[in-house]
Structure 1
Amino acid sequence: MRGTSWIATLIFITTLGSVTLAQQADLLDRTFSGVSKETTPQAAKADIQNQASQKISEEVIKELVGEDRFNKNKAMIQNKIIKNSARYIPFSKPSPLIQDGADFKMAVEMKLSLRDLKQMLQENSLLNENDAVPVVLPVISFVDQVEGRSYRWWQPLDKNPQGFLFKEGRAMEEALRNSFQGKNFFVIKPMEAGLGSNVPSSFQNERISGEDAQFFAQYFNAPVTIDGQVLFNKEAKGGNYTIEIRLTATQVSNGRPIADVSRKFTTDPGPFETSVDKKMREVLEGTANDLASQVFEAWQRGSLGTSVIRLTIQGSHSLPLMEGVKDKIRSQITQVKNIRERLIGTEGTSYEVDASVSATDLVQRIEALDFNGKKLTKVSEGRDEIVLKFAQ
Structure 2
Amino acid sequence: MKTLQKLSVLFLSIVIFISCKQKNMLVAQIEGLGNDTILVEYAPISQMHNIDDFLTDTIIAKDNKFEYTPSITEPIMAYFFPKNAAFKRLNGHPFHPQQKHLVLKLKPDDKLSVKGRLHDYYLEYYTNGSDFNKDFCEVRSKHIKNSSNAVQIELLIDSLKNSNEDKAIINELFEKRRAFDKLAGKEELKYIKSNFDKELSAYYLCRQNLDTLMKYHANLNDKIANGSFKNTLDGQVLRFKKYTLIQDAEKNITKGKTAPNFVLKSIKGDDFELNSVKNKYVVLDFWGSWCGWCIKGFPKMKEYYSKYQSKVEFIGIDCNETEEKWKTSVADNGLKWTQVINAESIEKDASVMYAIKGYPTKIILDKDKRIVDVYKGETEDFYNKLDELLK
TM-score interval (norm. to shorter): under 0.3
TM-score (norm 1): 0.26
TM-score (norm 2): 0.26
Tell me which protein shows more strand as a share of its residues. Answer: 1
